Amino acid sequence: MQRWLVTGALIAWSSFCYADRIITYAIDPQRTQVSISWQYLGVPTEGGEFKGVTGFIYGNLDSPNKSWAEAHIPVNSFKSGWKLIDHRLIKSGEFFRAKEYPEIIFRSKSIDTVNKKSRELSLSGEISVNGIVRPVTLYIETKSLGPHPFYGDANAASMKAVTRFNRSEFGMDKFVGMVSDEIVVHLAVEAVVVKN
């Protein structure tokens, strides 16, 4: 019995020793923005912006390709600067169905490419809009990584990202042809290390 106890303890200790080291970043909802833009009659417009984004980035120090992230974007936070557009997109239910699905949710699945020199990577995952889940790829550029004066020199990450999707794939096909189906998404993300 004692031999089995010792063996079990050694296995548990070995698993602990070889477990990947994970560093967790919390997305700062005050300093993170997600903007979307589209074209009207072929002419690019300014679009609008979501705020209050929350979520976490889990960096794997031993196997960076295993790092992953999750973000939650409150639909009702959207502002375009035009009350009519905000009402049509958010309140009417013709596009975003905010009452039923109050959040846009992104979850990454894999890191596909990494360019260490330019600090760029592509991140594949899934995005849920109006309860419909579709694959999406984010193209990310890391702007800074390390102590950040805004957070009292705590370690933080700043990055920018871009992706695209067709709104019709999420049940938002009204006025396609007059208003572009393709939506361009730009993200400016700041995240700070969570102390364990």
What SS3 state is found at 169?
Answer: helix
Phi, psi of 141 (to 5 degrees): -120, 120
CATH architecture of 20-193: Beta Barrel (2.40)
| % pLDDT > 70, the chain | 90
CB 114 within 8 A of CB 65: yes
pLDDT of residue 18: 52
pLDDT of residue 16: 44
pLDDT tens-place string over residues 117-176: 888 889 999 999 999 999 999 999 999 989 999 899 999 999 999 999 999 999 999 999
Cα 144 to Cα 147: distance, rounded to the nearest angstrom: 9
How far apart are the C-alpha atoms of 129 and 107, rounded to whole Å?
12
Query: For residue 19, what pLDDT is reported?
Result: 66
Q: How many CA atoms lie within 13 A of 113 on its CB side?
A: 10
33, pLDDT greater than 50? yes
> pTM score, two decimals?
0.85
Residue 108 pairs in a beta bridge with 125
Q: Are 149 and 132 in contact (CB under 8 A)?
A: no
pLDDT band at 40 (very low <50, low <70, confident <90, very high): confident
Whether the per-residue pLDDT at 189 is higher than 70: the answer is yes
Q: What is the average pLDDT score of the chain?
A: 88
Domain boundaries of the chain, sorted by first residue: 20-193
pLDDT tens per residue across span 69-96: 999 999 999 999 999 999 999 999 999 9
HSE-CB for 184 with a 13 A CA cutoff? 11
Average pLDDT over every residue of 2-28 = 62
Cα 27 from Cα 189, distance rounded (Å): 7
- d(Cα 111, Cα 109) in Å, to the nearest integer? 7
pLDDT over 90 percentage in the chain: 70
Which amino acid, 190? E
Distance, CA of 176 to CA of 73 (rounded, Å) = 24
Cβ contact 1:163 at 8 Å: no
